[in-house]
Structures are given as structure tokens and as C-alpha cells.
Amino acid sequence: MAQAIKKQALGRGLSALLKDPENDIKSVDDKNADKVVGNIIELEIAAIEINPFQPRSNFNEESLRELATSIKELGVIQPITVRKLDFNKFQLISGERRLRASTLVGLTTVPAYIRIANDNESLVMALVENIQRHDLDPIEIALSYQRLMDEIQLTQEQMSERVGKKRSTIANYLRLLKLDPIIQTGIRDGFISMGHGRAIINIEDQDAQADIYQKIVSQNLSVRETETLVKNYQESLKPKAAGKPKAASFEIAEDHKNDFASYFGTKVDVKVAGNGKGKITIPFHSEEDFNRIIKLIKT
């Protein structure tokens, strides 16, 4: 207990140092920077602005209230991380839920780690630290990966090294951004999982994606059932191979074909199908020839 009080008092002492205009620390080389940078300091919430690089945009209100209750009873156990912008002005790098919950219970200060970073470093720190959290939804993580790649020109391989994830894992997240926006919202809101999304992404037609999404939600389909549904849809698009005609069920002897030809005075075509049914075709070359054949049939 005495150690905790000493630590808190130290944090407040460093806070006073930050408010001294004669000790305005702007880089790690400034006087007293070693006493501030990387240390836990009780920081006024009013001096902290929200990080524009924060990937999280959805905050579960119930979860936030539960955290606020915990903070009211136990205090902020894990300090937030901020970067120094100007004199007594800081920007949040990570810990927005803790900051919001602390504000909810009326705290005026929070424990914070102080860092000095440029915009790119702040972007990397904010996104990488948030990506490592377990409570980001898959779309938020995908957007964080995409932003890092776009804004500081990282390849998937470089991203893999930065965040400690396999390149294939990063690629799977990024592919989710190709889904119809309605389906992305469904993942964010928890109606379907990332596994469902990975199955749906194999369908290029977004209307078909939307149809399958509706079936997943309405029928409460599992990921395995969704994969089967997608597979059946893809199979339905493949051109069906023309079936081979069945062999004739019996053969017509050449003698019989010759008998027809001899009787009608013309070559007669006789065909038999695989089911035993057949067709006899008697050609004629003029009206006179047609009438001649009619007389033969009536004879």
C-alpha cells in the first residue's frame, strides 16, 4: 500500500514538472525528458485529445459502463498511453475506453505513459497497439492494417513483422474489405463471424453475396453450412457438360434398311434410341414424289 501511495505521489510530482513552462519537454534530448518520457504520470483529462488514428469506432455502451464501475471502485489499473504535442497538451495513443470510462465516473486525471513521437510514429504506435487488443472487431483490424499500408507504405510482409502476425493472417483480414458494406456491418455488429465473411468473399457477385448473407442470418447457418452453400452456388455457375447420347437398345439390320429403300424407291433413314424408341424418315423430292409415296403406303 505504501509503495502504491509513493508511486502515485511520484506521478503527481512529474505532472507538476510538465506544467512548468521552463521545463517544456519537446524531445527526448531536452532537460528532464528522462524523468517524464516512459514514466507513469497523473495527467489531466482536459489536456488530452482523442487520437485521430484510433481504429476503434464502435464502443459497446454496456461494456463501457462496466469498465466505468470497475474504475470507480479500483481506479485505472492499466495506464493509458499519450504523446506530447505541446505545452501541457497531449494526444491519446491507446486506451480510449479507459479514458471514456474515467470521464463517465467524473475523474479529472488518469495515469498515463508519456511518449514523444512524430505523426508517423504515433500512427504506428496507435494502430499496432490497438491491433494487438482482443476486443477489436475483424473489420476494425482490417481497416487498421489497410491504413498502415496506405499511409506509411508498408507491404504485407513488413506489416507482418511490425505486428507479429503471419502474412496470410493479414491477407485474410484485408480480403474482408472487399465484402459488400452491408456484410461488413454485419460482421462489426456480430450478426456473422469472420469465418462467415471469409466464405462469402469467394463469391464475386455482390448481389449473390447479399442473398447468402440474408440466408446465414435468417437460418442461423454455421460457418461450415455457409461454406457448403457457397460451394453449391459456385457449382451452379459451371457449364453443365453435354451428356453422351445413349447407345441404341437394338440394331436395325442392313437388310431391313434395304427393304425400306427398295419398297419406297428412296433411301430411308432408320434410327433407334437407347430407350428402344425410334424414328423412320422417308425423304421426297417433289410433290409428285410425295404422292407416289402416299400411294405406296395406302396399297
Cα 183 to Cα 143, 174, 210, distances in angstroms: 15, 14, 7
**Exposed (0-12), middle (13-18) or buried (19+): which is 210, by Cβ within 10 Å?**
middle
Q: Which of 100, 92, 111 is nearest to 63 (CA)?
A: 100
Cα 45 to Cα 55, 104, 149, distances in angstroms: 21, 12, 31
Give the helix/strand (H/E) hosting 161: helix 156-163
Of the candidates 42, 66, 73, 96, the residue annotated as catalytic is 96
* Catalytic status, residue 96: yes
Q: What is the DSSP string of 214-246?
A: HHHHHHT--HHHHHHHHHHHHHHHSPPPPPPPP
Catalytic residue set: 96
